[in-house]
Amino acid sequence: TTYSNGGLGAEGPETTETDSSGTGGMRKSLEGSGSTPNDIVHLKRRVGLFSGVALIVGTMIGSGIFVSPSGLLVRTGSVGVSFLIWLACGMLSLLGALAYAELGTMNTSSGAEYAYFMDAFGAPPAFLFSWVSTLVLKPSQMAIICLSFAQYAVEAFVSECDPPSAVVKMVALVAIVMILFVNCYSVNLGMAVQNIFTAAKLVAVLIVICGGAYKLFQGNTQHLQNAFTGPTPSLGAIATAFYTGLWAYDGWNNLNYVTEEIRNPSKNLPRSIIIGIPLVTLCYALINVSYLAAMSPTEMVESEAVAVTFGNRILGAMAWLMPLSVTISTFGSANGTLFAAGRLCFAASREGHLLDILSYVHVRRLTPAPGLIFHSLIAAAMVLYGTIDSLIDFFSFTAWIFYGGAMLALLVMRYTKPNYPRPYKVPIIIPVLVLVISSYLVVAPIIDKPQIEYLYAVFFILAGLIFYVPFVKLGLTPKFMEKVTLFLQLLLEVVPTSTMAM
Ligand code: ARG
């Protein structure tokens, strides 16, 4: 029983390999002999209502609320409009998530959009989703969060001037490497980091809210008055302001990626959504008020790291607490994002939709190392060549094409599968509304300010088809790929999970 816990289970022995060379499993897989196929990952139903809520809240609260408020204020030009957009983003996330609750209770396999596109539109769109999410969406999430982490970590040391961007990028790269190490080292370590850091993040939120309340009771309400004075933003500016705000709320669909692990999903998935998202919306609204209780809108716009400025104003000798808690929160978020990314990569490549090597697992550590390394490399490139704001726009644009696609999938399935059991059914107006808004979010910025990046994103999505036809549909594998796979297997000591039951 060398690999009793074959696959990516979070529990169980981590180092069960007794063969010190670690090549036992490797040799087997390379020769492809003597191994019985394992029923790979046995995902236990471990997620109840509480962990469901934690999974949603813990993913949603990351870097955004500590970084985006300034950007949103710049884009909208007034405190009032930006506050309304914060609330609207929360509302939109809730409506989107309710529609996902119908999708997730109807099709209870993990993988969210991937599974729903497969049901509603067939394999090519599902492939395009996995193509874009492994190559763009997940790595850009990772890059944005690590850049925010770095900004706060560096800001703590150079408080009153802008930190040099080269230093910020280096620190972001260090963060990626550290998180990669944690997740390649062991699944249990990754989970532990996630839990500890989620708790710390909630403390950071509470500190900000309490500090703000204290300031308000002292009578610092001047920045909340005349909230709507300012230039009227254009429709395109509002859409990009939404991108900034929606980044802070991203992760509202996170529970749908792990539906297979939820206990009693038809009850707990909708319930977790209904509790989790309004909770986050409430926190974000209160945090925004807190920031304005401590600084003027102009100061907020000028601040590179708004939560640090807030800490300097309110916490006195304890001001160091703020950058510390934000770095902890973002580090945790990045860890969770890579964790999920590894799993998505793993699932899609197992279906034959991505390179085989990406679904392989380390022989002793049982972690999906190739997928994790692959994501980290792309994220590192994004850190080097992008900025937080450009990456957020790029991310949101691409992500909302797929969120809109999921709404379309729901509507299509109401017609094509009318009698399919739907334990939770949303009023049809909800997906229609979210579909309309997501179309607006995708189209408005292009019309308002055409940028070549948007075109690249669309080309990139469609370019997936060039790979889909020969490699997935026709199943061709170029000869040299076998050699590359073999080389990487030896280098990384990874094997297919199907060879791991012994
Ligand atoms: N909302 C998070 C933040 O503000 C980002 C979440 C990234 N998305 C994800 N599904 N992991 O940093």
Rounded CA gap, 340 and 254, in Å? 9
pLDDT at 12: 39
Residue-averaged pLDDT of the chain: 81
Tell me, in angstroms, the distance from the centre of ligand 1 to residue 335's CA: 11
Confidence at residue 280, expressed as pLDDT on a 0 to 100 scale:
93
pLDDT of residue 282: 95
105 C-alpha vs ligand 1 centroid, how far in Å? 23
Q: At what angle do helices 388-416 and 123-132 cross, to 10 degrees?
A: 160
Question: What atom in ligand 1 is closest to the CA of residue 249?
Answer: 1
* Alpha helix positions (H), 362-428: 369-385, 388-416
- Report the separation in Å between the CA atom of 141 and the middle of ligand 1, taken as the mean of its atom positions: 7
pLDDT tens profile 99-144:
999 999 998 877 788 889 988 998 888 888 988 888 889 899 999 9
The vertex-220 CA angle with 214 and 224, nearest 5°, equals: 115
Residue at token pair 């985006």? 68
Q: What is the pLDDT of residues 6-40, one digit of tens each?
A: 344 443 333 333 333 333 333 333 233 333 334 44
Cβ neighbours for 51, distance < 8 A, ≥ 6 positions apart? none
Q: For residue 34, what are its two tokens?
A: 């003597």
- Over residues 69-73, the mean pLDDT reads 88
Closest atom of ligand 1 to 60 CA is 1
Find out whether 292 and 73 touch, Cβ atoms under 8 Å.
no
Supply 281's token pair: 């919306």
Query: Does ligand 1 have an atom closer than 6 angstroms to the CB of 62?
Result: yes
Ligand 1 centroid to 206 CA: how many Å? 19
CB of 64 closer than 6 A to ligand 1?
yes
CA–centroid distance, 243 to ligand 1, in Å, is 12
Our answer on whether the CB atom of 337 is closer than 6 Å to any ligand 1 atom is yes
Max Cα-Cα span within the chain = 75
Mutate to test the pocket of ligand 1, among 151, 183, 247 (most ligand atoms within 8 A of CB): 247
Which residue, among 355, 248, 274, has the nearest Cα to 95 in the 3D structure?
A: 274
Using CB atoms within 10 Å of the CB of residue 37, give its burial: 0 to 12 exposed, 13 to 18 middle, 19+ buried.
exposed
Q: Give, using CA atoms, the residue closest to atom 8 of ligand 1.
A: 251
Select from 262, 240, 217 the least CA-distant residue to 101: 262
- Cα dihedral 388/394/395/398 (nearest 10): 180
| Tokens 């792990």 sit on residue | 258
Token pair, residue 88, equals: 């609207």
* Separation of CA 421 and ligand 1 centre (Å): 31
251 lines ligand 1 (CB under 6 A): yes
Region 68-75: what's the mean pLDDT?
Answer: 88
Q: How far is the CA of 63 from the centre of ligand 1 (A)?
A: 7
Position with higher pLDDT, 13 vs 440: 440
Distance in Å, CA 139 to ligand 1 centroid: 12
65 CA: nearest ligand 1 atom: 4
Q: Which atom of ligand 1 is nearest to the CA of 337?
A: 11
CA of 19 to the centre of ligand 1 (A): 40
Instruction: Please state which of the ranges 118-127, 164-173, 448-457 shows the lowest mean pLDDT.
Output: 448-457
Residue closest via CA to ligand 1's atom 9 equals: 251
pLDDT in tens, 354-411: 777 777 777 776 777 888 888 899 999 999 988 888 888 788 888 999 999 999 999 9
Question: How many angstroms separate the Cα of 410 from the Cα of each of 92, 274, 415?
Answer: 16, 19, 9
pLDDT at 365: 67
Q: How far apart are CA 498 and CA 35, in angstroms?
A: 8
* Helix orientation angle between 235-249 and 64-76, rounded to the nearest 10 degrees: 170
How many other C-beta atoms lie within 10 A of the C-beta of residue 355?
21
Highest-confidence segment of 124-128, 133-137, 216-220, 248-252: 248-252
Q: Model-level pTM?
A: 0.83
Question: Which residue CA neighbors atom 10 of ligand 1 most closely?
Answer: 251
* pLDDT value of position 144: 92
Instruction: Give the residue carrying structure tokens 């408080």.
Output: 159
Identify which of 384, 91, 67, 393 has the alpha carbon closest to the alpha carbon of residue 204: 67
Residue type, 381: A
Return the higher-pLDDT residue of 475 and 247. 247
The pLDDT, as a whole number, for residue 272 is 92
Q: Tell me what pLDDT residue 195 has.
A: 77
**pLDDT tens figures, 260-299:** 778 898 999 999 999 999 999 999 999 999 999 998 888 8
Per-residue pLDDT, 90: 96
Instruction: For ligand 1, atom 3, name the residue with the nearest CA.
Output: 62
Give the ligand 1 atom nearest the CA of 253. 10
- Mean pLDDT of the 181-195 span: 80
Over 60: is that where the pLDDT of 436 sits?
A: yes
- What is the share, in percent, of the chain residues with pLDDT greater than 70? 87
DSSP helix/strand/coil, 439: helix
- For the chain, the first-to-last Cα distance in angstroms comes to 6
**Average pLDDT, integer, range 300-305:** 82
Ligand 1 center from residue 342 Cα (angstroms): 16
Closest by CA to 325, choosing from 204, 207, 210, is 204
Q: Is the CB of 63 under 6 A from ligand 1?
A: yes
Distance 249 CA to ligand 1 centre (A): 7
Q: How far is the CA of 334 from the centre of ligand 1 (A)?
A: 8
Mutation test residue for ligand 1: of 249, 333, 338, the one with most atoms within 8 Å of CB: 333
Q: What percent of the chain has pLDDT over 90?
A: 28
Q: How far apart are CA 188 and CA 185, in angstroms?
A: 9
- Find out whether the beta carbon of 255 lies less than 6 Å from any atom of ligand 1: no
Q: Does ligand 1 lie within 6 Å of residue 464's CB atom? A: no
Higher pLDDT, 97 or 185: 97
Tokens 């009578």, located at residue = 219
